[in-house]
Amino acid sequence: MSRLPAHPGVHLSPTQPLYGFHAQEFIPFRFASGGGRELYFYEEKEVDLSDIINTPLPRVPLDVCLKAHWLSIEGCQPAIPENPPPAPKEQQKAEATEPLKSAKPGQEDDGPLKGKGQGAASADSKGKEKKAPPLLEGGPLRLKPRSIHELSVEQQLYYKEITEACVGSCEAKRAEALQSIATDPGLYQMLPRFSTFISEGVRVNVVQNNLALLIYLMRMVKALMDNPTLYLEKYVHELIPAVMTCIVSRQLCLRPDVDNHWALRDFAARLVAQICKHFSTTTNNIQSRITKTFTKSWVDEKTPWTTRYGSIAGLAELGHDVIKTLILPRLQQEGERIRSILDGPVLSNIDRIGADHVQSLLLKHCAPVLAKLRPPPDNQDAYRTEFGSLGPLLCSHVVKARAQAALQAQQVNRTTLTITQPRPTLTLSQAPQPGPRTSGLLKVPGSIALPVQTLVSARAAAPPQPSPPPTKFIVMSSSGAASTQQVLSLSTSAPGSGSTTTSPVTTTVPSVQPIVKLVSTATAAPPSTAPAGPGNVQKYIVVSLPPTGEGKGGPTSHPSPVPPASSPSPLGGSALCGGKQDTGESPPPAPGTPKANGSQPPGPGSPQPAP
Amino acid sequence: PAAAPEASAPQDRQTLLAVLQFLRQSNLREAEEALRREARLLEEAVAGSGAPGEADVTGAEAASALLSRVTASAPGPAAPDPPGAAASGAGAVSGSASGPVAPGKVASVVVEDQPDVSAVLSAYNQQGDPAMYEEYYSGLKHFIECSLDCHRAELSQLFYPLFVHMYLELVYNQHESEAKSFFEKFHGDQECYYQDDLRVLSSLTKKEHMKGNETMLDFRTSKFVLRISRDSYQLLKRHLQEKQNNQIWNIVQEHLYIDIFDGMPRSKQQIDAMVGSLAGEAKREANKSKVFFGLLKEPEIEVPLDDEDEEGENEEGKPKKKKPKKDSIGSKSKKQDPNAPPQNRIPLPELKDSDKLDKIMNMKETTKRVRLGPDCLPSICFYTFLNAYQGLTAVDVTDDSSLIAGGFADSTVRVWSVTPRKLRSVKQATDLSLIDKESDDVLERIMDEKTASELKILYGHSGPVYGASFSPDRNYLLSSSEDGTVRLWSLQTFTCLVGYKGHNYPVWDTQFSPHGYYFVSGGHDRVARLWATDHYQPLRIFAGHLADVNCTRFHPNSNYVATGSADRTVRLWDVLNGNCVRVFTGHKGPIHSLAFSPNGRFLATGATDGRVLLWDIGHGLMVGELKGHTDTVCSLRFSRDGEILASGSMDNTVRLWDAIKAFEDLETDDFTTATGHINLPENPQELLLGTYLTKSTPVAHLHFTRRNLVLAAGAYSPQ
């Protein structure tokens, strides 16, 4: 309850209230310079009326309502969803790592006030503690207080329901249960039970070769790992053996030749990698111990193919460095072994399948690493001499990996171009985005035209956008030297079609007027929530003026970013009028270039392959 | 009283001023001081008349603006107010109100405690060498830091007021750069709880800024009060006279009020407990007057064993009311509380039949009440306002816990029924005329079943609703708002009945008297007002706070009103004559919650500093400090029998404290009472019985049901 919300507060004080801070845009003014002057003008957005009319109404905000729950019952706080989790992660950690120091104000406070049942138990344990020190004669010795993991009836019911759903037959229920494990905040008291459940479950089901149950249990581990409120360190010692078993066990299913136990091994391997990433420290050395275990079982000549596969998968998931140091040196040896199985007389079908899987696994994981390590010319013979029988296959995979990497690099190149862009120029609220967002261009004042254009490429080329809205861009850039204007329009296809087609259509128009225009119909939705829904067409019409004209047009001009606006283009006072000028009025396109019709987004009409 | 002769004879005043001025010019300070004390004149008035040329026009304008702010909101037929009566400070209520207040008689009350601004400013006229100020200050600092430990703590109190006044003097005399460097150099030395004021001060760098700056005026209009032992004072005086440090001596003489006491200097802890308010500590004599903190005798109502319908005949009214002759002698002698005010000190409304019914219900519930204690904590039921979008600004619960009202930032007041009984309004007039008035269930028949709902929304305010209070009989609801009005709503028709206009600025809080009829409101205009529901003008104006009145509470016997303010003081006002009878200092932040103990002896206050302080009303002493909250304490409530104090805070916790233990061993010996030197218990943590964290829901309101179940309420505000 704030007694003085901002607006009435300003209203009361003798200061003038600040106006003009209601706009969605970060700064409502646009900058233009030229003729030795700096100009700021108010951006006039063009909004399509039909879009406004057709936009579905926003949901009516929910009305205020009153909800009652028990915050405390006779001094004890019930563990219900309405109350905060009884112990936050920090406290769980403190209890686990520094049991003596861990100030448990809650527990100590509660100690004397607990209900009858718990009160008796705690009094009991306290009595024992008091007796202990005299026995040891150790001065001020404090023993670790026994933590009582007593589940309430509700928690017991919950535990029963969850575990049954997790290993039961109904997939929908299982999904719900896993979701609950992954998100519910109050589970820490049940953690010991869950971890025992998993480790015992794995133990039993490995013996019985019950692949399905093993998969379910591994999914439980994943869900527990995903829960941000749980402090799992105390239970890792139980979980790792269980997960490791699912990776390297000799047999995980009843019919090894048919069942896809490889997927389980892969999944569990990823889990182990995740565990390593989260919990490995210099004191517990989880990663090195796991690596050692995998290597040992791989090196062993007598290891069956299934275990071999698991070990390699486990190692490979630990990262490129591990692959480089541990897997690559053994490729030749392993290749020989695979060849002897695949090319030799068929002794066992199972072995053959195993060898086949190991081979594809090795190829899958090693190729990207090799592509990074080795210089480009990929020579089959060189690979053969280095890696033996796997060489040729590896070589072709590396070539493929390289091609893919090149493709990605291109995209990365473009996205890096975009991530350096100050997208805040478009919206006030920014979704935090991964990756380095140091923006050099942000510092360039007034380079608003530039970011907008690069935003275009961000939309067009960044595949990680979950489902980009159908966005149409028209980028117009006029090369100053030729006093022509290129109208470069791109359109991204609607979500769902999968591939984003970037189609630069360049129109060279004789004009000196630099035009910067942004037409965004999704006025209310910030880009972070941009995928508002199909049918919500965003239009960015960007017309900018690069001072140095490079090429009169053609798609080549697209990937090269517009030069930084730090060199101001020769803008006259007409720039202002230009801002208002509709692109539709732009002069006719020069012959020889595909026509893009002004403000109307060209749409998929003239798609060209992405450069 | 003291001001009256002076006001009646303005000529005398003139001569007095002249004499004073002469004394000053001839440097006869002690004589001047003695005379001034004798005459009880405002320092500012003296200075103002001494330098009339300084009274610049703009300053006067600012003053008149401020004046109009206060006086315009005062009732129209204001009695002619003696000029200069403001000298007596807080109780600036004209003497005509001192009789017993008959309901209906509007006491003519006018506040004039804003002095002439130009006079205030010109008090800074005499200046020394601006470059020397830093030297003066650091010289004094050195002296204090080198003095004996016992004196150091006391003299350190001087730092803050001296710092402020010296800075203001520099600014007033237009030494901007010196003022800035002075501020830079010494503002870090000041106690952290003055930071807010210092921030305002730092924005004052030019003489023009001072005009109309309220903080500055606050500081000037009220002398900063320091409490220092005679030994320490002599030490200081000797030092200043030796050093010929007239600059500081002038400030000490003119701008500070030093309350000298005989005896041992106080310890640092004792001082720290009491300081922190905007204008220093409370003067000792401010807390000397007698307060009738006892409870009124409950009207005798015989509880029928089974049949409730017969109670109408069996009950007995209050002794002074219509039926005094019915035999209630035995219980009367038994229950008479020596500290209670006379039963008719404040005329209270008569009990209606429905009130008696309710009292009987109350008594019945009382028999089922849980006896609370450290071993038997209450259960807490939390009412969460969902989807309130942080717009919940006020909550109240009826005494019988059947209704909850919420005031919202969108100007609405919403009333929920939390029992299965739905809220129904009375039928339209045309429908009412059809009802058989003789029928037994006429009260039931007048209700319109079609309007039954769990929630009723009351529209009428034009600003966020900051205060809400149900009347004890649940027929009315009060709400106070940013729009400056207090509205009275009927819970029979769910319409607005009256809009009480008086505060011109936001009204932060309002509360019904426990006996109904009266209510109190307090707001941004720094005054609290006492109203009666049937008067459109306030009956009393409680003026004296130096900043917004954030919260107001009635004493359980309805004879007193407590107000908590942003000037970090709590004041207790006598409803009878409008006098301020207690000033409690010690909080280090604006006060946001108040609670009287059910026996009327104690007051608990919570502030933005996260501390809850406990006060003994009778002795005017701080008796406890409850530390634990990490944010503003928004709500406080004692259990029905006073065993447990519950506090709710912006830090999303409800905490329960052992009130019995807190009040158990009070130092109320004569010495403590006489000097006000309190020693707080060492380990207040023992008093904390439980902490209950909510899920990001600040606790806006707390309530104990008649069976001692805690109801808490707040709006869920996801981060």
Q: Chain A interface, mutation test: which of B380, B454, B689, B704, most A Cβ atoms within 10 Å?
A: B380
Residues of chain A with pLDDT under 50: 1-4, 100-142, 415-611
Distance CA B161, CA B568 (A): 16
- CA pseudo-torsion sign B322, B328, B331, B336: positive
More confidently predicted of B422 and A409:
B422
B384 vs A contacts (CB less than 8 Å): 66-69, 82
Given this model, what pLDDT does residue B215 score?
66
More confidently predicted of B113 and B9:
B9
Q: Which of A311, A276, A273, A277 is nearest to A295 (CA)?
A: A311
Given this model, what pLDDT does residue B540 score?
93
DSSP code per residue over B660-707:
HHHHHS---SHHHHHH------S-GGGGEEEEEE-SS----EEEE-TT
**CB nearest to B387's CB, from A1, A63, A71:** A63
Given this model, what pLDDT does residue A147 score?
54
> What is the SS3 assignment for B316?
coil
Nearest-CA distance from B491 to chain A in Å? Answer: 19
Contacts with A, B 488-527, CB within 8 Å: 505-506, 508, 524
- Cβ within 8 Å of residue A10, ≥6 positions away: A17, A18
- Cβ within 8 Å of residue B157, ≥6 positions away: B226, B227, B228, B271, B275, B280
DSSP secondary structure letter of residue A323: I
Q: Is B456 exposed, middle or buried (0-12, 13-18, 19+ CB in 10 A)?
A: buried
**CB nearest to A67's CB, from B386, B392, B506:** B386
Contacts with A, B 618-677, CB within 8 Å: 634, 650, 654, 656
A74 vs B contacts (CB less than 8 Å): 376-379
Most confident of A447-456, A559-568, B89-98, B378-387: B378-387
- Cβ within 8 Å of residue A68, ≥6 positions away: B381, B382, B383, B384, B418
pLDDT at B342 over 70: yes
How many Cβ atoms sit within 10 Å of the Cβ of residue A506?
Answer: 25
DSSP secondary structure letter of residue A492: P
* Chain-chain contact of B550 with A2 (C-beta, under 8 angstroms): no
* Chain-chain contact of B690 with A70 (C-beta, under 8 angstroms): no
Given this model, what pLDDT does residue B466 score?
93
Distance CA B153, CA A178 (A): 63
Q: Which of A593, A589, A596, A592 is nearest to A542 (CA)?
A: A596
What beta strand segments (E) does B41-166 contain? none
pLDDT at B256 over 80: yes
Closest-CA residue of chain A to B393: A1
**CB nearest to B377's CB, from A61, A66, A75:** A75
Q: How many CB pairs under 8 A join A and B?
A: 115
pLDDT at B520 over 60: yes
ipTM rounded to 2 decimals? 0.72
More confidently predicted of A176 and B669:
A176
Given this model, what pLDDT does residue A12 score?
65
Q: What is the CA angle B465-B468-B471, rounded to 5?
A: 150
Mean pLDDT within B415-427:
89
pLDDT at B273 over 50: yes
Taking the mean position of all CA atoms in its chain, how far away is CA A605?
A: 34
Q: Chain A interface, mutation test: which of B630, B692, B707, B710, most A Cβ atoms within 10 Å?
A: B692
DSSP code per residue over B471-515:
-TTSSEEEEEETTSEEEEEETTTTEEEEEEE--SS-EEEEEE-TT
Residue pair B121/B47 in contact by the 8 Å Cβ criterion: no
Q: For chain A, which residues lie within 8 Å of any Cβ of chain B, measuring from their own Cβ?
A: 1-3, 5, 8, 12, 14, 61-75, 77, 82-84, 105-106, 109-110, 112-113
Q: pLDDT tens for residues B579-609?
A: 999 999 989 999 999 999 999 999 999 999 8
**CB nearest to A113's CB, from B408, B689, B712:** B689
* Chain-chain contact of B380 with A71 (C-beta, under 8 angstroms): yes
Given this model, what pLDDT does residue B667 score?
58
**CB nearest to A109's CB, from B409, B466, B691:** B691
Residue A518 in tokens: 């942004």
> What is the SS3 assignment for B261?
strand
B66 vs A contacts (CB less than 8 Å): none
**CB nearest to A71's CB, from B455, B689, B694:** B694
pLDDT at B691 over 60: yes
B416 touches chain A (CB under 8 A): yes
Q: pLDDT tens for residues B449-501?
A: 888 898 999 999 998 999 999 999 889 999 999 899 999 999 989 999 999 99
* Chain-chain contact of A74 with B712 (C-beta, under 8 angstroms): no
Residue pair A121/A107 in contact by the 8 Å Cβ criterion: no
Percent of chain B with pLDDT over 70: 74
Given this model, what pLDDT does residue A580 score?
38
Residue pair B577/B97 in contact by the 8 Å Cβ criterion: yes
> What is the SS3 assignment for A335?
helix
Q: pLDDT tens for residues B213-243?
A: 766 667 776 778 888 888 888 888 888 888 7
* Chain-chain contact of A66 with B386 (C-beta, under 8 angstroms): yes
More confidently predicted of A442 and B401:
B401
Closest-CA residue of chain B to A82: B695
More confidently predicted of B230 and B110:
B230
A113 vs B contacts (CB less than 8 Å): 374-375, 377, 689-690
Distance CA B714, CA B719 (A): 15
Q: Chain A interface, mutation test: which of B417, B693, B719, most A Cβ atoms within 10 Å?
A: B693
* Chain-chain contact of A1 with B406 (C-beta, under 8 angstroms): no
For the full predicted model, state whether its pTM sits above 0.80: no
